Structure 1
Amino acid sequence: MASYAGRGTHGRVVEQLGYRVVSGEVPEGATLDPRELVGELGVSLTVVREALRVLASKELVASRQKRGTFVRPRAEWNTLDADVIRWRVACGKGESLLRDLQELRVIVEPAAVRCAAQRRTDDDLAALDLALGAMAGARGEGEAAAADAAFHRALLHASGNEMLTRLDDLMKAALQARDSLVHGSAGAAGDPVPSHRAVLDAVRERDPDRAAAAMADLLALARADADHALRTARTPEGRGRQRR
């Protein structure tokens, strides 16, 4: 996921303030004084105000007359926002995020592939074949993560259920964070092609039970990879890779 850090002074301030809020360095209910931030961060008042507007759009902060700008309760944050998710992972709070994502996938994806096995079209199979081919030929974590996302997006589309298809929008940012963590962790992810091919073969052969079982096996491997990546990230060597 792209960060604000490469977007000049404004982006740097968004990154700093967003990380502080999500990490709890600036706690819920605390007031953010723009003029104090000007002196602390060495930027203009305009830059600070623009950055706070970005955080407000993510529902991290709000402004009220006589109270100023303050950190909203976590329950009100847009926790599905890509930047909020990235900040959670960066500050070491990714474990609960990945747990929630895993539980959602276990509930949704086996049922989705059952539908896909019954309703898939030739176009759906072509999209899945293309994604699997990209997965097999991926060079580097970016290509691997993109191919994985494309495969699961195509599976949801193949379900023929518009609501299931839209779940990709719900899960996209969390999946990107998960894939970045897993594919960037040495030794975490094994060859993903066989487990994904097993799902595709069952969908191709219109076998809902086998498709659901293959997806359950795939998700078990995904959980093991995520657990390994989290353990690695907690070591000094892992933290060093994350900083790079």
Structure 2
Amino acid sequence: MTAYGGRGVHGQTVATLGMRIVSGEIAQGAVLDLGALGRELDVSRTVLRESLRVLAAKGLIEARQKRGTVVRERAHWNLLDTDVIRWRAHAGETARLLCDLGELRDMVEPAAAALAARRRDEADLAELDSALAAMADAVDGSAEMAAAADLRWHRALLRATHNELVSALDSVVEPALSLRDALVHEAGMTDPVPSHAAVVDAVRRREPGEAADAMRALLAEAAQDAEDVAGPVEDGLVRTEEER
């Protein structure tokens, strides 16, 4: 799930090859000509080998006997990896990413809010309140501040379910949610505090049904913000201007 944080020649090589693969410039099933890539990118064999190891860990490539290094089918890519998400956005898949994230959250978070309302303790409420205060402070701040506060709040809600598997889902939604927060913040999103506060209020009062409804309203607001940024999505399919 984690991003590759390398910088310099190594990091640039990972990013260049990753974006080429994700964008389709290097096709799925293609065999990489390592010698040609090394010469084109002007990098040593060691740098290229280490970069390919990073891409293999993300599921983008694999070494095959008698064939060499091959670009894997998209089904094998780690689509939740932070770098892969960023490369997909760079390749023009932002609307697809935001749509998929919205559908995932619709499936998970209303049920999580209801469970949190049943099981939360005082420590959970304190963290939710603190995260909510951080969100309020970040409204007029940077995109990074807003994203960090939002992620903190959603982690706190998942952990308030006191279900370890549900809590672990923060690593599933975090990369794409970070992208969404950065995009909508820059575009000018709806103030997120009231909708998040409504969920906390229902959780505090131990009202599972109200908590789930408040979360659905929050997600509808988030979906509208995403549509304002990336354009409408119909029936789960991203439409081009000509198709609309």
Q: TM (normalized to structure 1)? A: 0.90
TM-aligned CA deviation for residue 94 of structure 1: 2.3
Q: Corresponding residue for 2:175?
A: 173
Q: Structure with the greater relative contact order (CA < 8 A, sep ≥ 6): 1 or 2?
A: 2
Closer, same or farther in 2 for the Cα pair 1:216/1:89, shift >3 Å? same
Q: SS of the residue aligned with 1:32?
A: coil
Q: Corresponding residue for 2:71?
A: 71
Equivalent position amino acid for 1:178 in 2: R
TM-aligned CA deviation for residue 3 of structure 1: 7.0
Q: SS of the residue aligned with 1:69?
A: strand
Closer, same or farther in 2 for the Cα pair 1:118/1:4, shift >3 Å? closer
Q: Corresponding residue for 2:220?
A: 220
For the 8 Å contact 1:4–1:12, the answer to whether it is kept is no
For the 8 Å contact 1:5–1:12, the answer to whether it is kept is no
> Paired residue for 1:144, among 143, 146, 150?
146
Q: Which moved more, 1:94-103 or 1:48-57?
A: 94-103
Q: Distance in 2 between matches of 1:12 and 1:24?
A: 18
Equivalent position amino acid for 2:118 in 1: Q
Closer, same or farther in 2 for the Cα pair 1:112/1:4, shift >3 Å? closer
Structure 1 unaligned regions, length at least 5: 233-244
Percent identity over the alignment is 57
RMSD of aligned C-alpha atoms? 1.8
**1:103 correspondence with 2:106:** no
Q: Corresponding residue for 2:61?
A: 61
Q: Distance in 2 between matches of 1:75 and 1:162?
A: 27
Q: Distance in 1 between matches of 2:164 and 2:43?
A: 46
Q: Distance in 2 between matches of 1:175 and 1:182?
A: 11
Q: Distance in 2 between matches of 1:84 and 1:102?
A: 18
Q: Distance in 2 between matches of 1:107 and 1:87?
A: 25
> Runs ≥4 in structure 1, deviation > 4 angstroms?
2-6
Q: SS of the residue aligned with 1:31?
A: coil
Q: TM (normalized to structure 2)? A: 0.90
For the 8 Å contact 2:23–2:88, the answer to whether it is kept is yes
Q: Corresponding residue for 2:242?
A: none
Structure 2 unaligned regions, length at least 5: 233-244
